[in-house]
Amino acid sequence: MQEEPNNEQAGEEEEFPYRTEFKKKSIRSYVIRGGRMTEGQRNAFDNYWGTFGLSLYDGAINPAEVFGGAAPVVLEIGFGMGDSLLEMTKAEQDKNFIGIEVHPPGVGRLINNAGKEEVKNLRVYMADAIDVLNDCIPDASLDRFQLYFPDPWHKKKHNKRRIVQPEFVKLLCSKLKPGALMHMATDWENYAEQMLEVLEAEDMLENTAGKGQYSPRPEFRPQTKFERRGERLGHGVWDLLYKRK
Ligand SMILES: C[S@@+](CC[C@H](N)C(=O)[O-])C[C@H]1O[C@@H](n2cnc3c(N)ncnc32)[C@H](O)[C@@H]1O
């Protein structure tokens, strides 16, 4: 059960019953913004949440059961508005995709488009990814993990809110199958350096590009919304690709 009301969303009209799910924690990697939703995004919850939505409070899943068949499982944290994840579900129909995002308008947009396009290989949590990893994703069940352009929290005093930390990477490793891929990308050089440091220090991982190296963008990763925003601001892009030993 929900441990406390999600006060950050209290401003929304009461008849909208879909709420971001999270447990109490002292440091969070996100702020839930009230963010206005378009009518299409709102209606998407009534039309498609039943098809794509998974709940943190239902606990551990069996991916083969959830998708109605076994296939390699890809998990993405923080898909934002979801366009690049949707593109991937269509480009790699031999895989099943689980997306996790706390931002309701982004979830609405993704399930709306996925519903209209009758996408079959996608499920979505509107929840804190750390809680989902801990409570819902079985150990050694993922074939690929992806984290694209996570919030940079670039002020020094906010750096601790960055999601990529040693404990987070350890938790992720426990969810990956041996040989699975861990893929991250960022447009903040200082965050790229932190990712590299944390990933290199994790014994369960091996850098596919060679020790201490960044990777070129793999073909399977489309450009994302935040990547394009970074490009307009003159930022570079750093991809990191590791294999679970
Ligand atoms: C900067 S955006 C990038 C979005 C997208 N990947 C892109 O490249 O366009 C980061 C996203 O991560 C989400 N996020 C941050 N921490 C999260 C968490 N713990 N669980 C789920 N989503 C999270 C935020 O809500 C935000 O939408």
What are 64-93's pLDDT values in tens digits? Answer: 999 999 999 999 999 999 999 999 999 999
Annotated binding-site residue numbers: 76, 101, 128, 151, 155, 187, 224-227
For the chain, what is the mean pLDDT?
A: 94
Nearest-atom number in ligand 1 for the CA of 147 is 6
Residue closest to 193 by CA, chosen among 160, 226, 164, 225: 164
| Full set of structural domains in the chain with CATH | 8-15+33-244 (3.40.50.150)
- Please list, residue by residue across 118-149, b when 16 or more beta carbons sit within 10 angstroms of its beta carbon and e when fewer do: ebebbbbbbbbbbbbbebbbeeebbbbbbbbb
To test the ligand 1 pocket, which listed residue (76, 226, 227, 229) has its Cβ within 8 A of the most ligand atoms?
226
pTM to 2 decimal places? 0.95
3-state class of 97 per DSSP? Answer: strand
Which of the pair, 33 or 245, is modelled with greater confidence? 245
Is residue 114 over pLDDT 90?
A: yes
Angstrom distance (rounded) from CA 177 to CA 198: 20
Confidence of residue 5 (pLDDT cuts 50, 70, 90): very low
- Percent of the chain past pLDDT 90, that is, above it, reads 90
pLDDT recorded at residue 104: 96
pLDDT recorded at residue 36: 85
Q: Is 226's C-beta closer than 6 angstroms to any atom of ligand 1?
A: yes
Confidence of residue 13 (pLDDT cuts 50, 70, 90): low
To test the ligand 1 pocket, which listed residue (25, 77, 161, 217) has its Cβ within 8 A of the most ligand atoms?
77
Q: Is 187's C-beta closer than 6 angstroms to any atom of ligand 1?
A: no
pLDDT recorded at residue 7: 43
Q: Per-residue pLDDT averaged across 106-119, rounded? A: 98
Is residue 3 over pLDDT 90?
A: no
Is residue 10 over pLDDT 80?
A: no
pLDDT recorded at residue 15: 76
Query: Starting from the edge strand earliest in sequence, which strands make up the sheet with 205-207, in order?
Result: 53-54, 122-125, 96-100, 73-77, 142-148, 176-186, 238-244, 205-207
Q: Is 148's C-beta closer than 6 angstroms to any atom of ligand 1?
A: yes
Annotated binding-site residue numbers for S-adenosyl-L-methionine: 76, 101, 128, 151
pLDDT recorded at residue 32: 84
Q: Per-residue pLDDT averaged across 108-116, rounded? A: 98
Q: Is 63's C-beta closer than 6 angstroms to any atom of ligand 1?
A: no
Q: Is 221's C-beta closer than 6 angstroms to any atom of ligand 1?
A: no
